[in-house]
Amino acid sequence: MTCCKSSLSQMPAGQQAVIGRIEVPETLAERLTALGILEGTTVKCLGAGPLGDPVAYEVRRTVIALRRADCMGIEVC
């Protein structure tokens, strides 16, 4: 599998990817870890809300919505 790095916030709907480096403020990183989102986790982008933001992601059989601005610093492969 070729690895082309991009941001979680740029993922197209329906695509699945693996989380790479996470560079966000520590409190958010901690939150994300508690939700099971950390380096190596597979996420699926389910698409944005009616107003284009936030975006819903499927992680470990749960659905978590995040604002694009918050997940800018999260890399996916």
Binding site for other proteins (CB under 8 A): 24-25, 27-28, 30-36, 38, 41, 46-54, 56, 58-67, 69-70
DSSP helix/strand/coil, 15: coil
CB atoms within 10 A of CB 31: 14
Of the pair 2, 50, the CB lying nearest other proteins is at 50
Of the pair 21, 63, the CB lying nearest other proteins is at 63
In the structure encoding, which two tokens stand for residue 37, read together?
């989102």
Letter for the amino acid at 32?
L
In the structure encoding, which two tokens stand for residue 57, read together?
């992601």
For residue 70, the minimal CB distance to other proteins (Å) is 5
For residue 34, the minimal CB distance to other proteins (Å) is 4
